Amino acid sequence: MTREEEIKRRRTFGIISHPDAGKTTLTEKLLLFGGAINVAGAVKSNKIKKTATSDFMEIERQRGISVATSVMGFEYEGYKINILDTPGHQDFAEDTFRTLTACDSVIIVVDSAKGVEAQTRKLMQVCRMRKTPVIVLVNKLDRIGRDPFDLMDEIEKELQIQVCPLTWPINSGPDFKGVYNIYRKNLSLYRADIQSITEAIDFEDINTPELDEQIGSDADTLREHLELVDGVYPPFNNEEYFDAEIAPVFFGSALHNFGVKELLDCFVEIAPSPLPTKAIERVVKPMEEEFTGYIFKIHANMDPNHRNRLAFVKVCSGKFERNTNYYHVRMGKKMKFSSPTAFMAEKKSIIDEAYPGDIVGLPDNGNFKIGDTITGGEELHFKGLPSFSPEMFKYIDNADPMKYKQLAKGIDQLMDEGVAQLFTLDFNGRKLIGTVGALQFEVIEYRLLHEYGASCRWTPMNMYKACWISSDDQEQLENFKKHKYQYIAKDKHGNDVFLAESQYLLQMAQSNYPKITFNFTSELV
């Protein structure tokens, strides 16, 4: 196969949902279609159970397992599919945000009874920001759910995207009969008692009496619904989907493996192959000859006795080859990788080459930070690995005077991994950790102790948000910084950050200093 063919057949995507909507179940079913058997347990046990939030060892154990399921690659009908795992737990949302930057498209799972929930809305914001093409699966049709038209309205409103149903359900719950595939013009009947896939029946013309024979009195309702669908929603258009203007919608029941194959078959056909990646200097196209890639995730210290890390590289262009000299742009040095790993289903194995869309795991002993770019030699800096405004803050202080160095090193490395964000207050040099979830403080404390032998002490700080400030008007910026000196800090890269104590104070600052931009994300480059 040529390099071009290899690239074209790749589909790299993430599945996102509010916890419990069915992301894990769908992932498992997709893997089963890919012939990647024995994975059911692997995906499931990666899930951080609600009850585990206070059980620390459990999180550590699952962190270990999650390496295996960080990327799940499999072959399906000539396509190479890479599913990037996105932690559903909201305290790990930052990890999910970053993983989304490495996805060429996304499947959103929505519970048909609950509709669009908070976490989905939040994650969709990231997709919208990056114009990531999304497909929606309305799940759990085997349970009584909401009216499909109401759900479509809600998805449009809440996710701010025009929907385009490609399948349509016939009832839900005990009366669920199946789905009509609008895209392929066929009918799949649901059988609660069997898990296997039933053959779809072609229905070029839904007005034929055969439809009544299949679904009885529901045939007329389906015809009415399809007429409405046809009138209300736009026809599917691949370009609009690529531009993130419309979201194709599917209905199914992941648990019963119903509607999943329809979704997968359509997905491989319409979803984008690797897309161009923006760098500060230029846009990098996947078909380019030279290898480029960036680190979007670091998994560290799985074994506390060995400082082993695995840096995850998204290949953006060219071809990655084992034992080849590549250029680590930030460090300005050449590096060679003798044991790069790829992830096929739940197995990790050493690979010789990888193509755009693929994720390669590079064993690392501290050379990489999230956002680092690797190239064949070009000075390139990939953009778009945002840091999000943290919402929880605590001062971090050293609790063991003998271990000052260890603490500094631990904090440094954990921040490189993107566990949380470190801010240093300008006026007194005090260090502040900002996170998106409360659990992160526990993770940091535990890991500092177990991996670095350092102890820390937390002092909570009541703060609403941290935002990055910039302005073309230097005078106004300096004025603001002088005025608010107690609330000005530097992030890890030396950028100015304003710590707002309340929403009100932030709004005041915004209106009093109109020439200053208050950013809620920073690009990590």
- What residues are designated binding site for GTP? 17-24, 85-89, 139-142
The one segment of 134-142, 204-212, 264-272, 387-395 that binds ligand G4P by CB under 6 A = 134-142
What minimum distance in Å lies between the beta carbon of 188 and ligand G4P? 14
In 272-323, which ranges are continuous DSSP H helix? Answer: none
Residue length of the chain: 525
- Which residues inside 70-99 make contact with ligand G4P, applying CB under 6 A? 88
Per DSSP, the residues of 24-55 read HHHHHHHHHHTT--S-HHHHHHTS--GGGGG-
Told to check if 467 binds ligand G4P by CB under 6 A, we report: no
Told to check if 17 binds ligand G4P by CB under 6 A, we report: yes
Told to check if 21 binds ligand G4P by CB under 6 A, we report: yes
Secondary structure (3-state) at 35: coil
Cα distance between residue 375 and residue 441, in whole Å: 35
What minimum distance in Å lies between the beta carbon of 63 and ligand G4P? 17
Amino acid at 376: G
Told to check if 139 binds ligand G4P by CB under 6 A, we report: yes
Told to check if 14 binds ligand G4P by CB under 6 A, we report: no
What minimum distance in Å lies between the beta carbon of 256 and ligand G4P? 6
Q: Which backbone phi and psi does 419 adopt, to 5 degrees?
A: -65, -40
Interface residue with ligand G4P, options 8, 140, 403, 431 (CB under 6 A): 140
Cα distance between residue 66 and residue 95, in whole Å: 12
Interface residue with ligand G4P, options 122, 143, 278, 490 (CB under 6 A): 143
What minimum distance in Å lies between the beta carbon of 40 and ligand G4P? 10
How many residues bind to ligand G4P according to rule CB under 6 A? 17
Told to check if 137 binds ligand G4P by CB under 6 A, we report: no
- Please say which residue, 109 or 422, places its beta carbon nearer to ligand G4P: 109
Nearest to 308 by CA among 296, 321, 298, 320: 298
Question: 390 with 436: CB under 8 angstroms?
Answer: yes
Structure tokens at 262: 């329809």
Told to check if 257 binds ligand G4P by CB under 6 A, we report: no
Question: 434 with 390: CB under 8 angstroms?
Answer: yes
Told to check if 8 binds ligand G4P by CB under 6 A, we report: no
Q: How far is CA 446 from CA 85, 288, 440, in A?
A: 24, 44, 10
The one segment of 136-144, 209-217, 390-398, 408-416 that binds ligand G4P by CB under 6 A = 136-144
Which DSSP letter does residue 52 get?
Answer: G
* Site residues for ligand G4P per CB under 6 A: 17, 19-25, 47, 88, 139-140, 142-143, 253-255
